[in-house]
Structure 1
Amino acid sequence: MQVNDDDKPYDDINITPMLDLAYVLLVIFIIMTTASVQGVKVNLPKASASVSLAKPQTKAITVADSGQIFLDAFPVTLGELEQRLRTLKATTPEFPIIVKGDANVQYQKVVDILDLLRRLDLSQVGLVTGKSPS
Structure 2
Amino acid sequence: MAMGPILASGRRGRRAPMSEINVTPMVDVMLVLLIIFMVTAPLLASGVQVDVPESKAAPLEQSGAPIALSMNQQGEIYLDDVRIEPAQLGTLLRQRVAASREEGGPRLFLRADRALDYGSVNRVMGEINAAGIRKLSLVSTGADGGQ
TM-score class normalised by the smaller sequence: 0.5 to 0.7
Alignment of 1:1-134 (within 5 A): 36=44, 38-52=46-60, 54-93=62-101, 94-133=105-144
Does structure 2 retain, via aligned residues, the 8 Å contact 1:67–1:106?
Answer: no
Deviates more, 1:58-67 or 1:93-102: 93-102
Q: Which has the higher contact order (CA 8 A, sep 6+)?
A: 1
The answer as to whether partners of 1:50 and 1:129 remain within 8 angstroms in 2 is: no
Q: Label 1:42 to 1:53 Cα distance change in 2 as closer, same or farther (>3 A).
A: farther
AA in 1 matched with 2:87: G
User: What stretches of structure 2 of length at least 5 have no aligned partner?
Assistant: 1-39
TM-score, normalised with respect to structure 1:
0.67
Runs (4+) off by over 4 Å:
none
**CA deviation digits over 1:15-72, x for unaligned, max 9?**
xxxxxxxxxxxxxxxxx9xx94631010010012231354322001111011111101
- The structure that has the greater radius of gyration is 2
Name the CA shift for 1:53/1:98 in 2 (closer, same or farther; >3 Å): farther
Separation in 1, partners of 2:125, 2:76: 15
**Alignment root-mean-square deviation, CA:** 2.4
Deviation of 1:84 after TM superposition, in Å, equals: 1.1
- Residues 67-118 of structure 1, C-alpha deviations (whole Å, 9 max, x = no match): 1111011111122111111111111152100111111112111101111111
Gaps of 5+ in 1: 1-31
The alignment partner of 2:111 has SS state of strand
Identity of counterpart residues, as a percentage?
A: 19
